[in-house]
Amino acid sequence: MFEALTKKGFQVEFHSHAQAILSGDFPDASGQLEAVLANVTIPIEEIVGSGGGETKGTQRLRKALAEHGWLKHNFVIEKIVDGEKKESQSHEIDHVKRFDKGIVALEIEWNNKDPFFDRDLENFKRLHAEGAISVGIIVTRGLSLQDNMRPLVRRFAGDRKLGDIDHLRNVGLNPTSRQVAAILGRVKRGAVFGEAWADLFVSDKYGASTTHWRKLEDRVQRGVGNPCPLVLVGLPDSTVTFGEPAEAIKELIAEAEATQQESD
């Protein structure tokens, strides 16, 4: 199961008999997920242009899942005593699909604060205990993508020949005054400008306290979400592509800023 993904470098882990449940009861679910995930690509310009937020690549992944019927759903669980509602809880899941033998739930955590994993896993646990879902799936940045994020962004800086603050602004990047001071401080200490910017960018936006494989695996190993059957999927660094047109990043950043303004 998911052999095509593992060949591409994806990390896949199954917990609490999730593999047996998927293969026995939900073969269509695993087939759809493998087909969608195998085609995921994230141009480096999107990683940089998103400012650490959700990239267009992950938005395309969400759209592809939605096209296969994996839609957002709000589960409502009510406790009723003698016909009177005593308690009500809701659990919103971004991607849910109903099959003949049950329901599979999926969350994508591209780059949130890592406590979002606790929320997702606890939601899965409660919904599974109530018989609302059969399996929970979480997709996040895998080890290779997290560990190589700095070299990937450094490569972007080298390809774009980013040599000073004006170069950053010319490609649509607008570091804060704090970031400018930090970058220039590193340069004064002997760092190459592009590498200084890349290292700061990754530390600020994709640091250890964000959602990535190690943070997810740590929680699962501690039993968070247990006994809900879980599938963990880590996106590899091979999903990141280079060579996008020079103007692409400006458009991506403009779109990201517009989306942020709409959500504020």
What pLDDT is stored for residue 264 in this prediction?
A: 47
Q: How much is the pLDDT for 87?
A: 80
Q: How many beta carbons lie within 10 A of that of residue 67, not counting itself?
A: 11
What's the pLDDT at 185? 96
Q: Where are the domains of the chain?
A: 9-159+195-263
- Is the CB of residue 106 less than 8 Å from the CB of residue 70? yes
180-197 mean pLDDT: 95
SS (HEC) of 149-198 = HHHHHHHHHHHCCCCCHHHHHHCCCCCCHHHHHHHHHHHHCCCCHHHHHH
Residue 263 has pLDDT above 60, yes or no: no
Pick the CATH number of 9-159+195-263 from 3.40.91.20, 3.30.360.10, 2.60.40.1080, 3.40.50.620: 3.40.91.20
Highest mean pLDDT among 82-91, 141-150, 255-264 belongs to: 141-150
Q: Inform me whether the pLDDT recorded for 259 exceeds 60.
A: no
Q: Which of 99-108, 160-169, 254-263 has the lowest mean pLDDT?
A: 254-263
Tell me the whole-structure pTM to 2 decimals. Answer: 0.89
Mean pLDDT of 12-36: 95
Provide mean pLDDT across the span 122-139: 97
Q: What average pLDDT score do residues 104-108 get?
A: 98
User: In the chain, how many H helices and how many E strands?
Assistant: 13, 8
Q: What is the pLDDT of residue 254?
A: 62
Mean pLDDT of 205-222: 96
Return the pLDDT at 246: 60
Mean pLDDT of the chain: 90
Greater confidence, 53 or 255? 53
From the list 65, 59, 66, the residue with the least C-alpha distance to 42 is 59
pLDDT band for position 4 (50/70/90)?
very high
Whether residue 183 has pLDDT greater than 80: yes
**Cα gap 64→49, rounded to integer Å:** 22
- pLDDT score of 196: 96
